[in-house]
């Protein structure tokens, strides 16, 4: 049955004139990145935080930048350093070759903040990062609503104490800086950069709808806990007769539209299975 689904996915890809790639945390697993699925996955990646008894939803909270900046930047600084060092897996290259074959008529929507698509060579003007990016900082007080690139920011961390030795500061007011990431219970996130990306995505999507372009939606590693990414593909598949969803998910592959395909398989293996370029 899985082979049959893969063949169906191949046909969808071959017939598509445009591609929408949507991804969640599962996209980075084959590159060696943690997906933080549940507290056990989170604590496995950060055993020191397990000892503190802090869940992922509590740790990914902007209040730490006010109450405990060394801990906040130990967590986010370690992730920043990790994402910088990580090499995108081969699935990224296969997808990049695919969209080039489609005359680069594509867009990417991801909940990941790791910047792996940009690192793999995708056009930054065609990427919507719905939760922001760890490679961009803002003031924790959002003092002047500015976002700045942080390509050279180096966060030194004492891993024994799990405390940041160096803490980035806002270049405008000198207060504690934070990543430009949407966190839990986050009322201070500066959404300006993501809003600009969203506008470009909507312009592209409007053209797809107007021209009735055949659209393949390739969703990789998007879970149901926070279903933002899954909802995008499902909604488009429902709304557009010319759009078909291919869902690659090792744990939650179920699809609800008869024309869509759910592959119970990992991200890299799934991409290798149906992308022929």
Domains of the chain by residue range = 2-274
> Average pLDDT in the 5-33 region?
95
Sheet arrangement for strand 177-181? 147-149, 132-139, 177-181
For residues 21 and 233, give the distance between their C-alpha atoms in angstroms, rounded to a whole number: 9
pTM of the model: 0.95
- Give the pLDDT confidence score for residue 40 in this predicted structure: 74
Percent share of the chain, pLDDT over 90:
84
Query: Would you place residue 276 in the very low, low, confident or very high pLDDT band (cuts 50, 70, 90)?
Result: low
User: 175, 169 in Cβ contact below 8 A?
Assistant: yes
Which CATH superfamily hosts domain 2-274?
A: TPP-binding domain (3.40.50.1220)
250/136 Cα distance (integer angstroms): 31
Q: State the Cα–Cα distance between residues 33 and 91, nearest whole angstrom.
A: 14
- pLDDT tens across 198-233, in order? 999 999 999 999 999 999 999 999 999 889 999 999
Average pLDDT over every residue of 110-124 = 97
pLDDT of 135 reads 97
Tens-digit pLDDT profile for residues 154-180:
899 999 999 999 999 999 999 999 999
Q: Where are the alpha helices (DSSP H) in 60-149?
A: 64-67, 69-85, 90-101, 116-120
Give the pLDDT band of residue 266 (cuts 50, 70, 90): very high
């Amino acid at each position: 049955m899985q082979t049959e689904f893969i063949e169906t996915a191949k046909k969808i890809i071959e017939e598509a004139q445009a591609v929408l790639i949507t991804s969640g945390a599962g996209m980075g697993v084959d590159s060696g990145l943690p997906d933080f699925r549940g507290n056990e996955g989170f604590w496995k990646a950060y055993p020191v935080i397990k000892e503190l008894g802090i869940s992922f939803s509590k740790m990914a909270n902007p209040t730490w930048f006010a109450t405990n900046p060394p801990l906040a930047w130990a967590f986010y600084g370690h992730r920043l350093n990790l994402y910088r060092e990580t090499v995108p897996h081969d699935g990224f290259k296969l997808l990049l070759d695919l969209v080039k074959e489609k005359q680069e008529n594509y867009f990417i929507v991801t909940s990941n903040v790791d910047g792996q698509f940009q690192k793999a060579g995708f056009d930054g003007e065609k990427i919507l990062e719905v939760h922001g990016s760890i490679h961009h900082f803002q003031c924790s007080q959002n003092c002047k609503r500015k976002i700045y690139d942080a390509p050279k920011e180096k966060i030194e961390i004492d891993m024994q104490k799990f405390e940041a030795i160096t803490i980035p500061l806002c270049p405008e007011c000198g207060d504690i800086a934070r990543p430009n990431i949407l966190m839990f219970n986050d009322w201070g996130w500066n959404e300006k950069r993501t809003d600009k990306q969203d506008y470009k995505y909507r312009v592209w999507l409007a053209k797809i709808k107007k021209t009735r372009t055949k659209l393949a939606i390739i969703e990789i590693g998007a879970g149901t806990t926070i279903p933002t990414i899954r909802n995008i593909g499902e909604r488009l598949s429902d709304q557009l007769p010319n759009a078909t969803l291919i869902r690659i998910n090792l744990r939650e592959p179920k699809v609800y539209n008869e024309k869509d395909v759910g592959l119970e398989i990992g991200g890299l293996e799934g991409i290798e299975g149906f992308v022929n370029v």
